[in-house]
Amino acid sequence: MSKRRVVLTGFMCSGKTTVAKALGEEWQCEAVDLDEAIAKAEERTSSEIIEADGEEFFRAIEMRVLSQVLQKGSANVISLGGGAWIQADNRAVINRHNCTTVWLDAPFDLCWSRISGSNARRPLAMARDQSRRLYQERLSVYSLAQMRIAVGADDTVDDVVKAISTSLKASIPPSSSGNLKVKP
């Protein structure tokens, strides 16, 4: 399983970072959180970049860092920020690198509970109504991921990791080398 490159997408606080780290441990491979990679490269957080320079400027940095992470090739699990998958250029570069994309589909109320309970600044989710609109806008694009894993309030990280692993194993034909064909 660790030879597969998996990219996790989903709304803010759907569990992408936590699940990516757990998958990395389970599969004994490198896991990269894109927002953490951006912060390391830019020496400031995604929120700080958005607040100082705007979302468009941030998206350009995000695309550059995502491309670098994918080209480096050492990370088998990559968790995206909530808006990274929404950008067509990011989806295209992920597809060119033959990654398997997994949408962590957590309901809005669960995401909002985690957002509002966190100390992290989220300039694109300052208020519940704003967040709900953003969530609704992004759903159709999240559904473009190859796999959908439903995430409920009672699901543990281990439950989600198991669901991803099971779905990935089921998607590999018996004679396959372990690489999935990516949908165009």
pLDDT band with cut points at 50, 70 and 90 for residue 169: confident
Long-range interactions of 70-74: CB distance < 8 A, separation 24+ = 70/94, 70/97, 70/99, 71/97, 74/30
d(Cα 175, Cα 153) in Å, to the nearest integer?
37
Average pLDDT of the chain, as a whole number? 88
Q: Are 160 and 19 in contact (CB under 8 A)?
A: yes
What's at 183, amino acid-wise?
A: K
State both tokens at 122: 């989220």
Interval 107-135 mean pLDDT: 84
pLDDT band with cut points at 50, 70 and 90 for residue 180: very low
In this predicted structure, what is the pLDDT of residue 116? Answer: 84
**Nearest partner of 103 among 142, 158, 153, judged by Cα:** 142
State both tokens at 80: 């995206």
Place of tokens 């198991």: 162
d(Cα 22, Cα 17) in Å, to the nearest integer?
9
d(Cα 43, Cα 88) in Å, to the nearest integer?
26
**Nearest partner of 24 among 165, 163, 172, judged by Cα:** 165
**Three-state DSSP state, 45:** coil
User: What are 50-99's pLDDT values in tens digits?
Assistant: 989 999 999 999 999 999 999 998 899 999 999 999 999 999 999 999 99
**Three-state DSSP state, 74:** coil
User: What are 8-36's pLDDT values in tens digits?
Assistant: 999 999 999 999 999 999 999 999 999 99
> Which one is predicted more confidently, 115 or 41?
41
Opening angle at CA 151, ends 184 and 69, nearest 5: 50
**Nearest partner of 162 among 172, 173, 150, judged by Cα:** 150
155: pLDDT strictly greater than 50: yes
